[in-house]
């Protein structure tokens, strides 16, 4: 598909180049032939005063032959020039067409990879529900207890599907933030995000030590709460029980920074560059830790941060812990 699009674009680029080149050549030929013709006429008028009719006739024939030769030369040169433009322009047009299409090509590839990953993740809970329901339907003496268990499990899977679809919607951008210029007190968004996870943290006996000082950040309060929630959620998910998550903040050069540090499982240096990719989960999270998630949180965090003209830094030591620092513009 992209090959034929590149060829079509090449033809268009080349057509434009050739129209310009041919127009230039025709104009040059006209101007030059008129100039040369005028020159010959001037010379003939001048020699008319000195030469007899026979000599003048001979000289005029000679000059006209020379003029024709010059014009033939010019036509040949212009032909060569246009042939060169056609070949060189064709190659340059194809290169330009490929270059123009490359970002579209990779965006399309990323989109289909995203759709494939999303479908794969959606299929897992759906298959689990389907299997459980089929087994239950086949059983002749389903007890009330078993039915309740089945409904609970179904609800759990529905919950997963809901959180996955919310994540997908967030990434697809259909939940756009619009008031990115509000002055948002950092302490408000931090405490809102902490409240969301107070129960999960308590269940794992994890204490969240909030040392973040208050600064005003430029952005959207709800999105910033979501952003900080993602880091706190991960810090709790990927930390052992009875550990501590520490939040700190500082201000430098009109930038407010917030760090979220944990003493959890950490991320291997080889995996660190990929944690912001959609659907990426480290080997540790998929296997040993078994923490729930789809690998969308950090991709969403990245998207929110970029929309706020900020950036995220991460440092981590496997087995020691991770620190995520988000830098945002001050209000
Ligand atoms: P998930 O839903 O899997 O948590 P994220 O996009 O939030 O998705 O994170 C991507 C992966 O990065 C996680 O699966 C985990 O392997 C790793 N990760 C993120 N935060 C941490 C952390 N604080 N400590 C250790 N690993 C982390």
User: 207 CA distance to ligand 1 centroid (A)?
Assistant: 19
What are the tens digits of pLDDT across the range 266-306?
A: 999 999 999 999 999 988 777 665 678 889 999 999 999 99
Ligand 1 pocket member 234 (CB < 6 A): yes
User: 94 CA distance to ligand 1 centroid (A)?
Assistant: 43
Give the pair of three-digit tokens for residue 21: 């080149």
DSSP result, 26-62: HHHHHHHHHHHHHHHHHHHHHHTTTS-HHHHHHHHHH
Q: Return the DSSP state at 139.
A: -
Rounded Cα distance, 299 and 56, in Å? 88
Global pTM? Answer: 0.73
Note the pLDDT of residue 2.
83
Coarse DSSP helix, strand, coil percentages of the chain, rounded to the nearest 5 percent: 65, 15, 20
User: 105 CA distance to ligand 1 centroid (A)?
Assistant: 29
What are the tens digits of pLDDT across the range 73-120?
A: 999 999 999 999 999 999 999 999 999 999 999 999 988 888 898 898
Ligand 1 pocket member 280 (CB < 6 A): yes
Ligand 1 pocket member 294 (CB < 6 A): yes
Rounded Cα distance, 40 and 153, in Å? 100
Give the pair of three-digit tokens for residue 247: 């939040």
Confidence of residue 245 (pLDDT cuts 50, 70, 90): very high
Confidence of residue 178 (pLDDT cuts 50, 70, 90): low
Give the pair of three-digit tokens for residue 180: 């990115």
Give the pair of three-digit tokens for residue 183: 């002055």
Query: Degrees (nearest 5) of the Cα angle 281, 123, 300?
Result: 40
The residue whose C-alpha atom lies closest to atom 7 belonging to ligand 1 is: 297
Which residues are within 8 A (CB) of 65 and not within 5 positions of it... i.e. 6 or more apart? Answer: none
Confidence of residue 176 (pLDDT cuts 50, 70, 90): low
Residue for token pair 């089929």: 134
Note the pLDDT of residue 121.
87
Closest to 197 (Cα-Cα) out of 187, 207, 188, 212? 207
DSSP result, 83-108: HHHHHHHHHHHHHHHHHHHHHHHHHH
């Amino acid at each position: 598909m992209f090959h034929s699009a590149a060829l079509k674009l090449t033809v268009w680029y080349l057509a434009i180049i050739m129209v310009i080149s041919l127009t230039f050549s025709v104009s040059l030929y006209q101007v030059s032939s008129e100039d040369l013709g005028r020159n010959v006429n001037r010379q003939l008028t001048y020699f008319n005063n000195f030469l007899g009719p026979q000599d003048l006739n001979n000289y005029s024939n000679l000059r006209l032959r020379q003029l024709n030769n010059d014009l033939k030369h010019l036509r040949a040169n212009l032909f060569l020039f246009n042939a060169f433009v056609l070949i060189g322009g064709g190659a340059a047009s194809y290169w330009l067409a490929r270059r123009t299409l490359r970002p579209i090509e990779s965006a399309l590839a990323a989109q289909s990879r995203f759709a494939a990953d999303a479908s794969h993740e959606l299929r897992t809970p759906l298959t689990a529900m389907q299997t459980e329901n089929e087994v239950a339907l086949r059983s002749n003496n389903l007890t009330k207890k078993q039915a309740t268990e089945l409904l609970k499990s179904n609800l759990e899977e529905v919950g997963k599907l809901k959180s996955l679809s919310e994540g997908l919607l967030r990434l697809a951008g259909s939940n756009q933030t619009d008031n990115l210029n509000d002055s948002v007190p950092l302490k408000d968004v931090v405490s809102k995000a902490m409240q969301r996870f107070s129960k999960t943290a308590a269940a794992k006996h994890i204490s969240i030590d909030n040392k973040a000082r208050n600064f005003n950040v430029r952005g959207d309060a709800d999105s910033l709460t979501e952003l900080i929630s993602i880091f706190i959620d991960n810090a709790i998910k990927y930390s052992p029980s009875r550990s501590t998550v520490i939040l700190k903040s500082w201000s430098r050069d009109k930038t407010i920074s917030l760090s979220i540090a944990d003493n959890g499982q950490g991320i291997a240096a080889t995996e660190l560059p990929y944690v912001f990719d959609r659907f990426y989960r480290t080997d540790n999270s998929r296997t040993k830790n078994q923490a729930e998630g789809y690998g969308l949180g950090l991709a969403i965090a990245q998207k929110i941060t970029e929309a706020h003209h900020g950036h995220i830094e991460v440092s981590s030591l496997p087995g020691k812990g991770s620190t995520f620092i988000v830098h945002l513009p001050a209000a």
